[in-house]
């Protein structure tokens, strides 16, 4: 069990007042808040160790290099990767997916091949594959959802076949909260000779994640949703895949030797890290991993199941509410998309903000899914380890108030 | 909640729940879509016009209260007006919403727009209010260019 009140003291922003109310931050699926240890790691680095990494002879450069490279070990341990060289730093999960599409994709996808994703992918796990499929005359296919918002494995079995070269799938939906059966998908994909890319942008911050147990070939995620700073993402891939992939961006640090007319490239993982990376924020990301590992991801998950279960039940006490996605908290993460009759999500977001409650409203970068759900957008409350049942009570009260504001005035 | 007496005044809610001139116009001179990709507001605007007058207008709104109310009031302000007047109304409204000072005066015919003035306090939502007007403006530009059969979309930036 985690001591949530103690945890909350580590997050200075949670003391903020918004419109005279204490902040209730329920927009964690968009980005998480940061503990003092992360904020301090970044400012300490700039105050004491700032230098460019690699090739530096002086003390500061050595310190910066060590601090930066140490985070790679931490990331490997955090996701159960066997080899540190399989961890590539990117700007975010989106860039990591684009990296795979532009390098592995362009050398492995041929006309007539098929790429399989699901109907609930974020645009970041859709657009790169749309582009690749168009460019390579390949086919993009979709695994559909069951009526209660789970991944339909019958649909998966019908679209994954011997033409499939890649299955790219979210670990947890940023709209429905749905957790996907990654291990099962891995077996299915591998049985047909396809690779599995896991979009862990939502999953890795909230679920215990082990790349070996999942049977993944690629895993991507972003640190800003995982208590870390913006501007740091991770691509993990099986090392033999990374070895065979051509470089992504060209420039400094990714080279071995350079002539006027040709170049050879650096070893893994630096082959994929052209230019000065985001050193300070990578170091901040290391502090985020330390924080989560000290708490234990199993404990984080248990807390979120409890919160989600509580919230799902509380939502059902509201009139005219529709909840999207599975109703069993064990099958989903702490992301609840909902709609109230006659209230546009945008209006809802604004009214809740008046009470200091931060939620998100809109299409959540999942326009195809919104079309499937036949809505223009949803309101979304999403939780993290510092949220409490008392905050969910405040949300529910504010939603009742919103119903009054938007409904009764007009109809009286 | 302060919004009850500011942003969501009764006028806005009235237009939101009972939008005027809602629907489609068959064989409209101009049909144009307007979208705000950030929030998902989408409208389709239809109007009939010759080179002098905007004789009829309809709007299909799938947006929030501000967006729907703004579009609804807009249709009431511009329907049957000379194109010159329509452009002036667009200008007046956009100036009211975008100027730093809050001294834009509304004539009697436009006083219904007064309810949207409060939206200025919420910068992210000014775009919700402007979408129908910017879409109309782009539709008028298409009308004057003579390319009335083009598919067109106004995208709020």
pLDDT for B3 equals 53
A30: CB partners within 8 A, 6+ apart: A225, A360, A382
Helix (H) or strand (E) holding A155: helix A153-159
Inspect the interface and report whether the beta carbons of A347 and B8 lie closer than 8 Å. yes
Is A365 in the active site?
Answer: yes
Q: Which of A126, A365, A394, A399 is catalytic?
A: A365
Q: Residue A358: which pLDDT band, with cuts at 50, 70 and 90?
A: very high
CATH code linked to domain A4-26+297-406: 3.90.1150.10
CATH of the domain at B97: 3.90.1010.10
- State the nearest Cα–Cα gap between B70 and chain A, in angstroms: 14
A370: contact with B, CB 8 A cutoff? yes
At A333 the three-state DSSP class reads: coil
* Sheet architecture: strand order including A195-199: A87-90, A233-237, A218-222, A195-199, A164-170, A114-118, A139-143
- Please give the interface size between A and B, counted as residue pairs whose CB atoms are below 8 Å apart: 62
CATH code linked to domain A39-294: 3.40.640.10
Q: How many whole angstroms from its chain centre is CA A248?
A: 22
Helices (H) and strands (E) in chain A, counts: 16, 17
Measured distance CA(A47)–CA(A279) in Å, rounded:
13
Q: Is the pLDDT of residue B92 over 50?
A: yes
Inspect the interface and report whether the beta carbons of A405 and B3 lie closer than 8 Å. yes
- State the nearest Cα–Cα gap between A342 and chain B, in angstroms: 8
Q: Residue B101: which pLDDT band, with cuts at 50, 70 and 90?
A: confident
Q: Is the pLDDT of residue A339 over 90?
A: yes
How would you classify the pairing of strands A378-382 and A360-362?
A: antiparallel
For residue A63, count other CB atoms closer than 10 A to its CB.
17
Mean pLDDT across the stretch A49-61? Answer: 92
Picking from B39, B118, B155 by the largest number of A CB atoms within 10 A of its own CB, the best residue to mutate is: B39
Nearest to B26 by CA among B51, B44, B50, B43: B44
Q: Is the pLDDT of residue A218 over 70?
A: yes
pLDDT for B151 equals 65
pLDDT for B120 equals 86
Q: Residue A299: which pLDDT band, with cuts at 50, 70 and 90?
A: very high
Rg (CA), chain A: 22
Strand ranges (E), A97-232 = 114-118, 139-143, 164-170, 195-199, 218-222
**Of B1, B62, B66, which is closest to A405 when you measure between CB atoms?**
B1
Residue A2 φ then ψ, to 5° = -100, 145
Which residue did the predictor score with more confidence, A406 or A295?
A295
Residue of chain A minimizing CA distance to B62: A376
Q: Residue A411: which pLDDT band, with cuts at 50, 70 and 90?
A: very low
Range of the domain at B54: 2-155
Looking at beta carbons, which residues of chain A come within 8 Å of B4? 405, 409
Q: Is the pLDDT of residue A156 over 50?
A: yes
Mean per-residue pLDDT of chain A: 96
Identify the sign of the CA torsion A370, A374, A377, A378. Answer: negative
Nearest to A182 by CA among A154, A219, A145, A155: A219
**Of B10, B66, B68, which is closest to A409 when you measure between CB atoms?**
B10
At A36 the three-state DSSP class reads: helix
Inspect the interface and report whether the beta carbons of B64 and A362 lie closer than 8 Å. no
Exposure of B38 in the CB half-sphere (CA atoms within 13 A): 9
Measured distance CA(A205)–CA(A378) in Å, rounded:
22
Domains of chain A: which residue ranges? 4-26+297-406, 39-294
ipTM confidence score: 0.77
At B57 the three-state DSSP class reads: strand
Picking from B5, B8, B67 by the largest number of A CB atoms within 10 A of its own CB, the best residue to mutate is: B8
Nearest to A221 by CA among A130, A88, A335: A88
Helix (H) or strand (E) holding A78: helix A59-79
pLDDT for A409 equals 42
Q: Is the pLDDT of residue B20 over 70?
A: yes
Inspect the interface and report whether the beta carbons of B64 and A370 lie closer than 8 Å. no
Q: At CA A85, angle to CA A82 and CA A89, rounded to 5? A: 115
pLDDT for A369 equals 95
Mean pLDDT across the stretch A312-333? Answer: 95
Rg (CA), chain B: 15
Inspect the interface and report whether the beta carbons of A342 and B122 lie closer than 8 Å. no
Number of domains in chain B: 1
Q: How many whole angstroms from its chain centre is CA B115?
A: 14
Tens-place pLDDT, residues B25-80: 999 999 999 998 777 788 999 999 999 999 999 999 988 999 999 999 999 999 99
User: Which residues share a beta bridge with A115?
Assistant: A140, A166
Q: Are B113 and B96 in contact (CB under 8 A)?
A: yes
The token duo for A148 is: 């209660």
Measured distance CA(A73)–CA(A84) in Å, rounded:
6
Inspect the interface and report whether the beta carbons of A346 and B3 lie closer than 8 Å. no
Looking at beta carbons, which residues of chain B come within 8 Å of A373? none
pLDDT for A410 equals 39
């Amino acid at each position: 069990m985690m001591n949530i009140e103690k945890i909350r003291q580590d997050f200075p922003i949670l003391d903020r007042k918004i419109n005279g109310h204490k902040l209730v931050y329920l927009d964690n699926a968009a980005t998480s808040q940061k503990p003092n240890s992360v904020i301090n790691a970044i400012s300490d680095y700039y105050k004491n160790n700032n230098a460019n990494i690699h090739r530096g002879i002086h003390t500061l450069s050595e310190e910066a290099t060590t601090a930066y490279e140490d985070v790679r070990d931490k990331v490997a341990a955090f996701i159960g990767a066997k080899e540190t060289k399989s961890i590539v730093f990117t700007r975010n999960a989106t860039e990591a997916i684009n990296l795979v599409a532009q390098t592995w994709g362009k050398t492995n996808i041929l006309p007539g091949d098929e790429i399989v994703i699901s109907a609930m992918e974020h645009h970041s796990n859709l657009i790169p594959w749309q582009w690749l499929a168009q460019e390579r005359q390949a086919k993009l296919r979709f695994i559909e959802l069951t009526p209660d918002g789970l991944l339909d494995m019958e649909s998966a079995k019908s679209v994954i076949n011997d033409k499939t070269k890649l299955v790219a799938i979210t670990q947890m939906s940023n709209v429905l909260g749905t957790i996907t059966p990654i291990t099962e998908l891995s077996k299915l994909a591998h049985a047909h000779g396809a690779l599995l890319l896991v979009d862990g942008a939502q999953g890795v911050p909230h679920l215990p994640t082990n790349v070996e147990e999942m049977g993944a070939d690629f895993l991507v995620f972003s640190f800003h949703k995982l208590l870390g700073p913006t501007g740091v993402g991770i691509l993990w891939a099986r090392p033999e895949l990374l070895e065979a992939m051509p470089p992504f961006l060209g420039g400094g640090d990714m080279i071995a030797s350079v002539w006027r007319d040709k170049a050879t490239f650096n070893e893994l993982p630096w082959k994929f890290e052209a230019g000065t990376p985001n050193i300070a924020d990578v170091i901040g990301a290391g502090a985020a991993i330390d924080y989560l590992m000290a708490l234990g991801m199993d404990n984080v998950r248990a807390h979120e199941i409890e919160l989600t279960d509580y919230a799902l039940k509380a939502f059902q006490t509201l009139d005219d509410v529709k909840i999207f996605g599975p109703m069993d908290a064990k099958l989903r993460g702490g992301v609840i998309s909902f709609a109230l009759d006659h209230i546009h999500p945008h209006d809802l977001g604004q009214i809740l903000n008046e009470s200091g409650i931060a939620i998100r409203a809109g299409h959540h970068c999942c326009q195809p899914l919104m079309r499937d759900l036949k809505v223009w957008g949803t309101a979304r409350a999403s939780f993290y380890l510092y949220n409490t049942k008392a905050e969910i009570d405040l949300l529910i009260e504010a939603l009742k108030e919103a119903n009054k504001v938007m409904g009764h005035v007009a109809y009286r | 909640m302060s919004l009850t007496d500011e942003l969501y005044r009764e006028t806005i809610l009235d237009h939101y729940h009972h939008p005027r001139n809602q629907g489609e116009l068959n064989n409209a001179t101009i049909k144009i879509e307007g979208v705000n990709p950030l929030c998902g507001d989408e409208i389709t605007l239809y109007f009939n016009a010759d080179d002098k007058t905007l004789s009829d207008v309809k709007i299909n709104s799938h947006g929030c209260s501000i967006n729907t109310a703004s579009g609804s009031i807009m249709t009431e302000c511009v329907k049957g007006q000379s194109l010159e007047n329509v452009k002036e109304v667009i200008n007046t409204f956009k100036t009211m919403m975008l100027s730093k000072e809050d001294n834009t005066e509304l004539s009697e015919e436009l006083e219904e727009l007064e309810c949207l003035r409060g939206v200025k306090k919420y910068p992210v939502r000014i775009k919700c209010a402007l979408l129908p007007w910017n879409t109309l403006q782009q539709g008028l530009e298409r009308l004057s260019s003579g390319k009335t059969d083009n598919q067109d979309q106004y995208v709020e930036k």
